[in-house]
Structure 1
């Protein structure tokens, strides 16, 4: 089975990377049980860059899009659950799409 890979490149101010990492750590298990979700990694830059990469793996493009339209997505991105939304840590983001290359 081939995986669909989504990479969200999030550019943060120089002093905000740890805050981004803490927010992801606090929601580490929130994706458990999401249909089609295989896993994720938060990649911290080590070369002076200010772009962090959120790499997620999905069974299909449809599974990813279903999650993006879900209430869970809105809540995890500060669009729900009562109170005022959290101020974003990132200054900008860009979504990249890939599949795992296989031969034969």
Structure 2
């Protein structure tokens, strides 16, 4: 069963381009992780300041393995004993978790 993990990142006005640049610089970093199915960075098209990082995983186990891995820590500037390479762009973030409960024939994820 596919699970969806959404990291809702609130960024200050004018910082969205920097967030997009940082994600582009790490493009493909998670692609070869076991159980990883896809990724999108969603930019708001209205007055909102929250960007969504949407990832799809085969199930919870591979997501947990990746989120506790050294590769995750390194990619997020959280390696033990190291100062962050860059100041975070986001001012807050929240992780949401979903499972696919329905859809259409054209959707990429199946229940």
Q: Which TM-score applies when normalising by structure 2?
A: 0.86
Give 5+ residue unaligned stretches, structure 1.
none
Structure 1 residue 32 displacement after superposition: 2.0
In structure 1, the residue matched to 2:48 is 49
Q: Deviations over 1:69-89 (max 9, x none)?
A: 100100110123996312100
Segments ≥4 residues shifted beyond 3 Å: 80-84
Question: What's 1:10 paired with?
Answer: 9
Deviations 1:34-69 (A, max 9, x none): 011111000000011000000000011111110011
Partner of 2:96: 96
TM-score by length of 1: 0.91
Asked if structure 2 preserves the Cα contact closer than 8 Å seen for 1:20 and 1:89, the reply is: yes
SS at match of 1:89: coil
Aligned length: 102
Maintained 8 Å contact 1:75/1:81: no
- Cα distance between partner residues in 1 of 2:99 and 2:67: 18
1:18-37 equivalences under 5 Å are 18-37=17-36
The two structures, once aligned, show a CA RMSD in angstroms of 1.7
